[in-house]
Structure 1
Amino acid sequence: MFNHHPLPVRELDPALYYITESEARLLKEYTGITDDNELKHHILKVQAEAYALPENSAYPALLKLGKTRENAILLDIGCGFGNDSRRAIADGFPLQNVLCTDLREGANHNYEPTLGFFNIGHKLFKTAPESFPLAFFRGDIFDTVFTYPQPMTIPKLSALDNLGQLKGQISIIHASAFFHLFGEEGQRKLAQILGQLLSPQPGSIILGCQIGAPARIFSTRIFSPDTWKDIWTGDDGPFNPDIVEVHAYPRPLDGDEMRASTGPSADGERFWLTWSVLRK
């Protein structure tokens, strides 16, 4: 998600500080801080630093690629209304180089053509395909095939038959609130597909955010920052760790975000896991 949060973010409130005895013992063991008040001050200071992190610190790099790399393509996976693509376009990314994709451009519950998320996006922003020709590809990302010959020139984005026609041609891939819709096997397969679509040029980037947790929760589709990196550079990942930098960091959920995003959680803490995969 670009330069915005899914829901308004509340100001930090030190009065809400709470730590269990076991958590305090662990932190004291690691930090060497034995005084409770000093430990509280340390935690709140680090919390404020984490809270100040941007939604995705890779966003400026995305905009720079759009301005400095010829024909840099931005692919927005699971685009919904297309609001993230519109944010990038408003901030200077060339409209003609943006491609949105989702399962359906528009359909009702009977799968009849009608207004759907992407088409309603035009209604929301009061644009029209004629005056704001944001390219859209309707299809299932898992149907991507890579048997097409490597194109000599970039195909017209509004006339694609399959995303595989863009193999190795996409400079930026954005996938927010998307990966955790699938189980681990699906997420690993998705990473492989996106890895093949990404341009081999240094600076090319895949970025996004989703619900995360401090430790991998094997009964769910939720990863920790460390286990998320394994998706990309582990034994089954699409990249050798020598050719990419993978960053993943948490941003706290407030109570409203927790309820809106995941509902009550019986198996531990949740946060927004913001991440990027950058070609060196």
Structure 2
Amino acid sequence: MSALQSSTTVNTPNLNGYSFLDTNAEPPEINDGHLTFLSRYTGIDDLDVLRKGVIEVWREAREKHHVYKCIETFMFLIPAIQFHPSYRTLLNTLSDRQSSHQPAPYIADVGCCFGTDVRRLIYDGVPAENIVGVDLHDGYWNIGKRLFEDGERIEGVKTVWRDMASGEEGAVEREGLKGRFDFVVAMAVLHVFSKEQQRIFLANILQLLTPGGT
């Protein structure tokens, strides 16, 4: 097992208010707009088929894992990264490097969950081999493979299952991640942490970046 595929015991983040209170809850309505990216990425035009698959993974996530608000409300279906002001910078960097025959930027998605933003990166041309997904464990990631039906397509994405909000000294360096990334993505993550966990998390994020990274 390589350093980029290692696992570790994790500390549970601050989950108050971010898990289902009603275990018998029915899924909210999934409108067609929720399914736009999933349809484009998978090539499946039948929205009823997609809707059925989404509800299946929604129920599985609810039964097996903590259900954050982004899961409860189907926010995970829409790549949040595409709305970030720096995403255009990332895509311009990718285009500039491709046109000058330089290596594509190296990107980490911390708190990757189902991997929706990872797939948006791949959809927009970032090589899977240049992406690392990081999360507490692989439970959500494995559900994402079933949701997007793309196990082979994302095979090149490296994964790290580690608590980035823990203060374990030297953890980033031991994983071989220190100073490796041109861009680090961490969408909808900070709000589930305590203030101290946020401080540790951001300190670890800074260690991931190359000089001048974003």
- The match for 1:196 is 207
TM, length-normalised to structure 1: 0.42
Relative to its length, the structure with more strand (as a share) is: 1
Shift in Å at residue 86 of structure 1? 0.4
- Closer, same or farther in 2 for the Cα pair 1:135/1:175, shift >3 Å? same
CA contact (8 A) 2:110 2:185 kept: yes
How far is 1:73 from its partner?
1.4
Which protein, 1 or 2, shows the higher relative CO under an 8 Å CA cutoff with sep ≥ 6? 2
Q: Do 1:73 and 1:171's aligned partners in 2 also have CA atoms closer than 8 Å?
A: yes
Matched, 1:75 2:108: yes
**What is the percent sequence identity of the aligned residues?**
31
**Higher helix proportion, which one?**
2
Name the residue aligned to 2:196. 185
- Aligned-partner Cα distance in 2 for 1:178–1:169: 21
Q: 1:120 aligns with which of 143, 146, 149?
A: 143
Kept in 2, the 8 Å contact 1:96–1:135? The answer is yes
Q: Secondary structure at the match of 1:142?
A: coil
Distance in 2, matches of 1:82 and 1:200, equals 26
SS at match of 1:75: strand
2:172–2:207 Cα contact (<8 Å) kept: no
AA partner of residue 203 (structure 2): Q
Q: Give the total of aligned pairs.
A: 129
- 1:62 is the counterpart of 2:84: no
After TM superposition, where is structure 1 displaced by more than 6 Å over at least 4 residues in a row? none
Counterpart residue number, 2:41: none
Change beyond 3 A, Cα 1:137–1:64: same
Equivalent in the alignment of 2:154: 132
Letter in 1 for 2:170: F
Q: Which amino acid aligns with 2:109?
A: D
| Unpaired runs of at least 5, structure 1 | 1-6, 10-53, 107-116, 150-160, 206-280
Q: Which one of 145, 161, 170 corresponds to residue 146 of structure 1?
A: 170
RMSD of aligned Cα (Å): 2.6
Following superposition, the deviation at residue 184 of structure 1 comes to 1.5
1:90 CA displacement = 0.4
Match of 1:263 in 2: none
Q: Secondary structure at the match of 1:60?
A: helix
- The answer as to whether partners of 2:134 and 2:162 remain within 8 angstroms in 1 is yes
Query: Which AA in structure 1 matches 2:134?
Result: T
Q: Is this contact kept in 2: 1:66–1:94, CA < 8 A?
A: no
Larger CA Rg, structure 1 vs 2:
1
